Amino acid sequence: MAGKKEKSGMTAKAKKKNAIASAAIKKGTGKIRVNKRDVLTLQPAYITEFILEPLELAGSTAQEVDIDITTKGGGFMGQAVAARAAIAKSILDYRHGDEKLKKRMIAYDRMLLVDDPRRVEPKKQLGPKARAKKQKSKR
């Protein structure tokens, strides 16, 4: 197919609410990009620290791989959580399911490897939202 460039290396996906992140990991020099931008340029700064947490747990592996993350949907925080989980999953794939690293990640934060199953409930009739209903007047 002309036009679309294939991602090389291994890929991992993660979800949070409506946000979806896909991470492609390959041998490299430690560059992390989110939506084609360097992760260090993201604002506010605490988002960058949050996204890079799995790399601190991975140790030396972080310096020998390049990770490209593509996020879409949801808000900025949902995308950050999804990107963080995608990084963790891709590093685990790169290290061929290293059990020690997997246990360390789960002990640190289970959300690194397990996607959040909660979704927005669909709106029902007779109300403005899923559960809220019109108030009944007594007079």
Asked whether residue 58 is domain-assigned, the answer is: yes
Select from 67, 63, 51, 54 the least CA-distant residue to 7.
Answer: 67
pLDDT reported for residue 1: 45
- The CATH number covering residue 40 comes to 3.30.230.10
Would you say residue 79 lies in a domain?
Answer: yes
In a domain, 57, yes or no: yes
CA distance 120 to 124: 12
Position 5 in a domain:
no
Residue 4 token pair = 């679309």
* Residue 27 domain-assigned (yes or no): yes
* Within-domain flag for 59: yes
- Domain holding 75, by residue range, is 21-111
Q: Write the CA distances from 82 to 4, 86, 104, 118, 130, integer angstroms.
A: 23, 6, 19, 13, 25
- Residue-level pLDDT, tens digit, the chain, 139 residues: 455 555 567 899 999 989 999 999 999 898 999 999 999 998 899 999 999 999 999 888 888 899 999 999 999 999 999 999 999 999 999 888 789 999 999 999 999 999 988 888 999 998 999 999 888 888 8
Is residue 127, in this structure, part of any structural domain at all? no
Q: Is residue 71, in this structure, part of any structural domain at all?
A: yes
pLDDT, residue 5, reads 52
At 22 the pLDDT is: 95
Tell which phi-psi region holds residue 37, choosing left (phi > 0), alpha (psi between -120 and 50) or beta.
beta
Domains contained in the chain, number: 1
